C-alpha cells in the first residue's frame, strides 16, 4: 500500500487552524529553517488511510489474542468514556491544588484499592510500565540497604522462569544477577536457592505464578529464607489476574511489588496506552518511594503524577466489577487457561504437569521432530484463522514453546473454536507439513525476514532529494 506521504498533493489541506491569538516572540535559534515536510492531504484521505491501516492489523477487538504473559484482555468502553471527561482531560499538573481535588481523590482511591489487593501499605503510581515499576522497586531495595550502611549487598536472585524484564531491571539498578534453577515441577529449586543466598544477597525477584503459569507453593519458605539472609523480596505482579482477590503478595512475605495496570486492570497496551506500572511496598520502605518529599526518597521516576488517564481507567475497572468481580476475574482467567490446557493436552502437552494459573506453556518439540513444523510455523498458521499467535520460544527452559494465555474475558465458545483450529492445524501439520510451513497466506504480507527487519530497521520516510 502507499504511504501517507505518497498521497500528498501540494496545497491540499484538511484543517484550517484558527488564527493564533497569542503574541509569539521566539529567538531565531529554535525556529525551523525550512517548513516541515508534512503530508498534504484532505480529511477524508487521511481518515481512509488510517482506517485501512487499522484493518490490516490484529487487535483484541478483531479476534482471539492468547499472547501469553501479555494479558491481552478486553478493555471496557466505559473506562474510555470516563477517562475522556473534560474534568480529567483538561487539567494541568501545575494548576492550583484546590482545583484538582477530584483528580487527587482518583489517585488516592486507586492507591488504596491496589494496596488492599496486593497486601502492600503504600503505592506509587508514577512508573509508566511494568519494567519501569520493577526498576523503581529495585531502586527502593538498593536505597534500603545503602541507608543501613549494608552496601555489600549487590546480588539479586532471579529464577530461570522469571519474566525477561526482571534481570534487566535489576541490572539497570546496578545489581548483579544470580540465576537459580527450576526443579522438575517448574518451581524454584530450594537447594539451589539455599546455596546462592548469603551476605551479598540484596533480594529476590520473583514472578509468581511464573512464566510457565505455575504458582510456587513453597513461597512462604522462599521469602523466609531470603529475609533470614537479610535480603528483601520483590514480587512481579504484572499478571496479578492469576491470583487477585484470592491471594496477596504482601501475605506471601513480599516487601515490594509492581502491577501492570495495562494487563491486570484492563487498560490498553502500547499504542492504545500508555502503560502504568504502580510500585507498592510495605511501610518500612515507604520513605524511599519516588513521590515522597522525604530525603530518603529515590527521587521521581516520571514527571508529575504518572499516566493519569490510565489511572482513571484502572479505577473505573475496579469500581465497575467490585470485590466479587475482582475474584471472578482471576477465577475465570485460571479456569479458561486450564480448560484449554486440558483440551489440548493429547496433542500439545505442557512441559510441566498439574494445574496451571492464568497461562500455560506447551512444547511442540515432538511435532517438530516428526514433521519439521516448528512453533514459529504453527504460529504463522494461526494467523490464517484470525487468531493472534501465542508468545513463542519463551521461557527458554521449554523447547519449541508456545505460551498460551486466553484471559478471563473470553467465552467458552471462543475457546472451543480456538481449540478446534489448533487441532486442525496440528492435523494438517501431520498430513501436509508444507502447507503449514508456507502459511500465512491470507494476511497482507506473508513471511517476513525478521532478522533483516530488526537489523536494518527503516523507521523514517526518506524524501527524494
Ligand atoms: C508484561 C510483563 C512485564 C513487563 O511489563 P511492561 O509494561 O511490558 O514493561 C514484567 N513482568 C511480567 C511477568 C510481565 O508479564
Is the Cβ atom of 207 under 6 angstroms away from ligand 1?
yes
Strand partners, 177: 156
- For 180-238, the pLDDT digits (tens) are 988 988 899 999 999 999 999 999 999 989 888 999 999 999 999 999 999 999 999 99
Whether the pLDDT of residue 273 is over 70: the answer is no
Distance (Å) from CA 102 to ligand 1 centroid? 30
Instruction: With beta carbons less than 8 A apart as the criterion, state whether 234 and 138 touch.
Output: yes
* 78-318 and 333-453: identical CATH topology: no
- For 335-370, the pLDDT digits (tens) are 999 999 999 999 999 988 889 999 999 999 999 999
pTM of this structure: 0.92
> Residue whose CA is closest, atom 3 of ligand 1?
130
Q: CA–CA separation, 272 vs 269, rounded Å?
A: 6
Which atom from ligand 1 is nearest to the alpha carbon of 131? 9
Which atom from ligand 1 is nearest to the alpha carbon of 69? 15
- The domain limits of the chain are 1-54, 78-318, 333-453
**pLDDT interval class at 323 (50, 70, 90):** very high
Distance (Å) from CA 130 to ligand 1 centroid? 5
Instruction: With beta carbons less than 8 A apart as the criterion, state whether 177 and 200 touch.
Output: no
- For 405-417, the pLDDT digits (tens) are 999 999 999 999 9
In the chain, DSSP finds a helix count (H) and a strand count (E) of 14, 10
Of 3.40.190.10, 3.40.640.10, 3.40.309.10, 2.40.50.140, the CATH number of 78-318 is 3.40.640.10
> Residue whose CA is closest, atom 2 of ligand 1?
238
**pLDDT interval class at 271 (50, 70, 90):** low
Is the Cβ atom of 260 under 6 angstroms away from ligand 1?
yes
Kindly list the distances between the CA atom of residue 462 and the CA atoms of 3, 33, 37, in Å, as whole numbers in the listed order. 12, 19, 11
Instruction: With beta carbons less than 8 A apart as the criterion, state whether 320 and 159 touch.
Output: no
Answer whether the bond into residue 312 is a cis peptide, omega within 30°: no
What would the grid cell of residue 257 be?
511489588
Distance (Å) from CA 387 to ligand 1 centroid? 22
**pLDDT interval class at 272 (50, 70, 90):** low
Whether the pLDDT of residue 85 is over 80: the answer is yes
Distance (Å) from CA 206 to ligand 1 centroid? 12
Is the Cβ atom of 131 under 6 angstroms away from ligand 1?
yes
Distance (Å) from CA 165 to ligand 1 centroid? 7
Is the Cβ atom of 237 under 6 angstroms away from ligand 1?
no
Evaluate whether the domain defined by 333-453 bears CATH number 3.90.1150.10: yes
> Residue whose CA is closest, atom 15 of ligand 1?
69
Amino acid at each position: 500500500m502507499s504511504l501517507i506521504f505518497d498521497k500528498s498533493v501540494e496545497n491540499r489541506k484538511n484543517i484550517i487552524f484558527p488564527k493564533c491569538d497569542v503574541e509569539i516572540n521566539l529567538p531565531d535559534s529554535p525556529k525551523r529553517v525550512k517548513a516541515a515536510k508534512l503530508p498534504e492531504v484532505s480529511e477524508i484521505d487521511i481518515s481512509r488511510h488510517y482506517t485501512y491501516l487499522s484493518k490490516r492489523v490484529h487487535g483484541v477487538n478483531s479476534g482471539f489474542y492468547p499472547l501469553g504473559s501479555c494479558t491481552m484482555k478486553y478493555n471496557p468502553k466505559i473506562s474510555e468514556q470516563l477517562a475522556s471527561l473534560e474534568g480529567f482531560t483538561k487539567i494541568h499538573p501545575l494548576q492550583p491544588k484546590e482545583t484538582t481535588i477530584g483528580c487527587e481523590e482518583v489517585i488516592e482511591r486507586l492507591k488504596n484499592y491496589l494496596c488492599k489487593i496486593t497486601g502492600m501499605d503504600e503505592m506509587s503510581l508514577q512508573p509508566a510500565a511494568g519494567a519501569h515499576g520493577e526498576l523503581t522497586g529495585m531502586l527502593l531495595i538498593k536505597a534500603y540497604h545503602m541507608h543501613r550502611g549494608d552496601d555489600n549487598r549487590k546480588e539479586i536472585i532471579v529464577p530461570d522462569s522469571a519474566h525477561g524484564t526482571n534481570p534487566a531491571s535489576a541490572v539497570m539498578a546496578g545489581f548483579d544477577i544470580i540465576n537459580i534453577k527450576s526443579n522438575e515441577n517448574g518451581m524454584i529449586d530450594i537447594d539451589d536457592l539455599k546455596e546462592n543466598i548469603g551476605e551479598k544477597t540484596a533480594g529476590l525477584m520473583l514472578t509468581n505464578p511464573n512464566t510457565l503459569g505455575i504458582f510456587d507453593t513453597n513461597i512462604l519458605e522462599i521469602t523466609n529464607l531470603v529475609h533470614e539472609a537479610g535480603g528483601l523480596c520483590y514480587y512481579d505482579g504484572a499478571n496479578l489476574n492469576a491470583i487477585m482477590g484470592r491471594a496477596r503478595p504482601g501475605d506471601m512475605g513480599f516487601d515490594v511489588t509492581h502491577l501492570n495496570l495495562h494487563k491486570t486492570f484492563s487498560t490498553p497496551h502500547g499504542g492504545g496506552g500508555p502503560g502504568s506500572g504502580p510500585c507498592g511496598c510495605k511501610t518500612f520502605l515507604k520513605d524511599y518511594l519516588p513521590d515522597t518529599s522525604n530525603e530518603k526518597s529515590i527521587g521521581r521516576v516520571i514527571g508529575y503524577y504518572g499516566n493519569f488517564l490510565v489511572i482513571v481507567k484502572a479505577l473505573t475497572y475496579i469500581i465497575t466489577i467490585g470485590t466479587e468481580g475482582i475474584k471472578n476475574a482471576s477465577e475465570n482467567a485460571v479456569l479458561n487457561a486450564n480448560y484449554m490446557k486440558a483440551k489440548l493436552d493429547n496433542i500439545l502437552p505442557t512441559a510441566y504437569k498439574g494445574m496451571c494459573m492464568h497461562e500455560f506453556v506447551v512444547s511442540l518439540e515432538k511435532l517438530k521432530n516428526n514433521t519439521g513444523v516448528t512453533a514459529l510455523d504453527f504460529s504463522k498458521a494461526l494467523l490464517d484463522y484470525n487468531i493472534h499467535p501465542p508468545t513463542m520460544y519463551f521461557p527458554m527452559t521449554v523447547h519449541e514453546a508456545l505460551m498460551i494465555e486466553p484471559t478471563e474475558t473470553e467465552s467458552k465458545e471462543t475457546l472451543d473454536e480456538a481449540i478446534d483450529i489448533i487441532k486442525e492445524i496440528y492435523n494438517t501439520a501431520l498430513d501436509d507439513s508444507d502447507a503449514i510451513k508456507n502459511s500465512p497466506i491470507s494476511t497482507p504480507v506473508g513471511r517476513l525476514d525478521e532478522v533483516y527487519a530488526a537489523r536494518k530497521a527503516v523507521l523514517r520516510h526518506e524524501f527524494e532529494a
